[in-house]
Amino acid sequence: MKPYLRDHTPVLLSEIPDAPSYEAGFLVSKNAGWRSTRPVIDTEKCTGCLMCYLHCPEGVIYKAGGKVAVDYDFCKGCGICVRICRAGAIETEAER
Amino acid sequence: MSINVRDLNESEFFYGHKACAGCGGSLAVRIALKVLGERSVAVLPAGCMSAVGFNFPQLCFANNAIISTFAGTASMLTGIEAGLRAKGVSDFHAVGFAGDGGTADIGLQALSGAIDRNDNIIYICYDNEAYMNTGIQKSSLTPFGARTTTTPAGKNIRGNVKDKKNMFEIVAAHGIPYAATASIGYMNDFMNKVDKASRIHGTKYIHVMAPCPTGWGHEPCETVEIAKEAVDCGLWYLAEYEDSEYILNRNVKDFTDISQYLRKQSRFRHLRDEDIEYITKSRDAKWNEIRTKYKTV
Ligand SMILES: Cc1ncc(C[n+]2csc(CCOP(=O)(O)OP(=O)(O)O)c2C)c(N)n1
Ligand code: SF4
Ligand code: SF4
Ligand code: SF4
Ligand SMILES: [Mg+2]
């Protein structure tokens, strides 16, 4: 479970709640555009130690088949994962 | 029994938020919620974490979460806990995430009251050492020498002239059931302190050091390393207060170079040798006190 991207953004007055409460985990925009570089996992080198998963401020690194993968919709390219990976399994690539 | 990364809840409860890249505070909130789980009701006062987490309709908490007044983190936690208890709900955590300003300055009275009543809440202060959300103003937890917009570095005065207040000891002096310091640079320690707090009845306080690349002036990729270095050079320490006793969790034998830690951050770049000497002396005095007053493990 995690907050996820919806396919509709509430815009009409009738869609906006009267009370100051709303559904939890309601996302309408990605953070991918913030990134100038992207971390790329080399699954050959990855030992599955999960240190990158533990230290990503966005929580966008997830477990995948004993290794890890990145949700690029919400990765901001901060580079913390690159620095924390002792196996040198994360490369930085420039975004075009 | 200790928790580690492998058995951490795989759900994400703080996702898609708009914190700056490499934000230490958002990492602290994310990990604490993974430890506490879905049945956490989180209170976030005015400050970066509420500002980046609630931008209707982008609502980044997967659990119940609410914004409080700047001063009212602890009083809202008190109300949530009492309200849910009155409704017969018992399996939940009322947890607050407040900044250093929201905790040590404006929120101190409400926090002190909650501790006095021993309300069953978890209060987590993510310390980025200034009022970041409003553009980097000094709080009482800003360290000596740091440049902020209200403590600029000029010819005569070089940044903050006051020392950082010891919020952990102020809280402990209330005789609270559990208080701890932590750092996002020592994540296992932090996770286990949150877990421990969740099993103790009464008021719990955790003070977690959470660097802010925007306010501290370091690269976003360095956040975790800098948090670790603060502990390794002795300017921050990992400790607990429990059963009326102070416990030092990490007795650092050989400190790393303080100036190396300071030079990595633009907020300290103006400091002269004499300032670094003052900071070193203050650190040594504090550690002498810690080593006599705290139980070392
Ligand atoms: C009563 C009141 N005074 C001032 C403000 C403006 N304000 C909003 S966030 C903030 C700074 C918060 O600093 P801190 O608690 O350290 O959290 P950070 O932003 O650093 O995460 C201030 C001064 C407010 N919202 N309410
Ligand atoms: S830190 Fe490196 S080795 Fe460890 S899981 Fe991440 S990519 Fe794999
Ligand atoms: S670059 Fe930053 S946001 Fe992206 S996966 Fe790595 S740690 Fe997470
Ligand atoms: S200003 Fe600092 S604390 Fe606030 S969101 Fe940005 S990095 Fe995080
Ligand atoms: Mg702050």
Q: Where are the domains of chain A?
A: 36-96
Domain A36-96, classified CATH 1.10.10.10, yes or no = no
Q: Which two tokens stand for residue B292?
A: 């006599």
| Rounded distance between C-alpha atoms, residue B28 and residue B212, angstroms | 12
**Least CB-CB distance to B61: which of A10, A25, A31?**
A25
Q: Which two tokens stand for residue A57?
A: 């401020």
The ipTM value here is 0.97
Q: What pLDDT score was predicted for residue A20? A: 83
Q: Which two tokens stand for residue B57?
A: 């309709």
Checking DSSP bridges between strand B295-296 and strand B245-248, what pairing results, if any?
Answer: parallel
Residue B277, C-beta contacts closer than 8 angstroms, at least 6 positions apart: none
Q: Is the C-beta atom of A82 inside 6 A of ligand 2?
A: no
Q: Where are the domains of chain B?
A: 21-296
Contacts of B62 in chain A (CB under 8 A): 1-3, 24-25
| Rounded distance between C-alpha atoms, residue B211 and residue B25, angstroms | 7
A24·B14 Cβ contact <8 A = no
Per DSSP, what are the bridge partners of residue A93?
A38
**Of B91, B109, B124, which is closest to residue B197 (Cα–Cα)?**
B124
Q: What pLDDT score was predicted for residue A18? A: 86
pLDDT digits (tens, 9 = 90+) for B222-234: 999 999 999 999 9
Ligand nearest to the CA of B102: 1
| Rounded distance between C-alpha atoms, residue B242 and residue B240, angstroms | 6
Q: What pLDDT score was predicted for residue B87? A: 98
The Cβ of residue B107 has, within 10 Å, a number of other Cβ atoms equal to 28
* DSSP state letters, B125-170: EEE-SSBTTTT-B--TTSPTT---SSS-B-SS-BS--SPPP-HHHH
Ligand nearest to the CA of B52: 4
Taking the Cβ of residue B38 and every Cβ of chain A, the question of whether any pair is shorter than 8 Å is answered with: yes
Amino acid identity of residue B80, one-letter, is: I
B61·A54 Cβ contact <8 A = no
Whether B218 has a pLDDT exceeding 90, the answer reads: yes
pLDDT digits (tens, 9 = 90+) for A80-91: 999 999 999 999
DSSP-based three-state secondary structure for A92: strand
Q: Which two tokens stand for residue B183?
A: 């750092």
**Of B210, B200, B205, which is closest to residue B241 (Cα–Cα)?**
B205
Nearest CA in chain B to A52: B5
Work out the minimum CA distance from A33 to partner chain B, whole angstroms. Answer: 12
| Rounded distance between C-alpha atoms, residue B70 and residue B74, angstroms | 10
Q: What pLDDT score was predicted for residue B277? A: 98
**Of B3, B6, B195, which is closest to residue B93 (Cα–Cα)?**
B195
Average pLDDT of the residues in B103-115: 98
Whether B1 has a pLDDT exceeding 80, the answer reads: no
| Rounded distance between C-alpha atoms, residue B93 and residue B36, angstroms | 7
DSSP-based three-state secondary structure for B228: helix
| Rounded distance between C-alpha atoms, residue B22 and residue B127, angstroms | 15
B57 preceded by a cis bond (ω within 30 of 0):
yes
Q: Residue of the nearest CA to atom 4 in ligand 1?
A: B70
| Rounded distance between C-alpha atoms, residue A43 and residue A19, angstroms | 47
Q: What pLDDT score was predicted for residue A49? A: 98
The Cβ of residue A5 has, within 10 Å, a number of other Cβ atoms equal to 13
pLDDT digits (tens, 9 = 90+) for A14-72: 998 888 899 999 999 999 999 999 999 999 999 999 999 999 999 999 999 999 999 99
- Which of A13-27, B108-122, B153-167 has the weakest average pLDDT? A13-27
The model's pTM: 0.98
Contacts of A50 in chain B (CB under 8 A): 5-6
Which one of 3.90.170.10, 3.30.70.1060, 3.40.50.970, 3.30.70.870 gives the CATH number of domain B21-296? 3.40.50.970
* DSSP state letters, B42-102: EEEESSHHHHHHEETTEE-BSSEEEEE-TT-HHHHHHHHHHHHHHTT--S-EEEEEEEHII
The Cβ of residue B176 has, within 10 Å, a number of other Cβ atoms equal to 22
Work out the minimum CA distance from B184 to partner chain A, whole angstroms. Answer: 8
Mean predicted lDDT score pLDDT of chain B: 98
Query: Band of the pLDDT at B297, cuts 50, 70, 90?
Result: confident
**Least CB-CB distance to B19: which of A1, A25, A57?**
A57
pLDDT digits (tens, 9 = 90+) for B44-98: 999 999 999 999 999 999 999 999 999 999 999 999 999 999 999 999 999 999 9
| Rounded distance between C-alpha atoms, residue B268 and residue B275, angstroms | 10
Q: What pLDDT score was predicted for residue A96? A: 84
- Select from A50, A54, A85 the residue whose CB has the most chain B CBs within 10 Å, as the one to mutate to test that interface: A54
Whether B12 has a pLDDT exceeding 90, the answer reads: yes
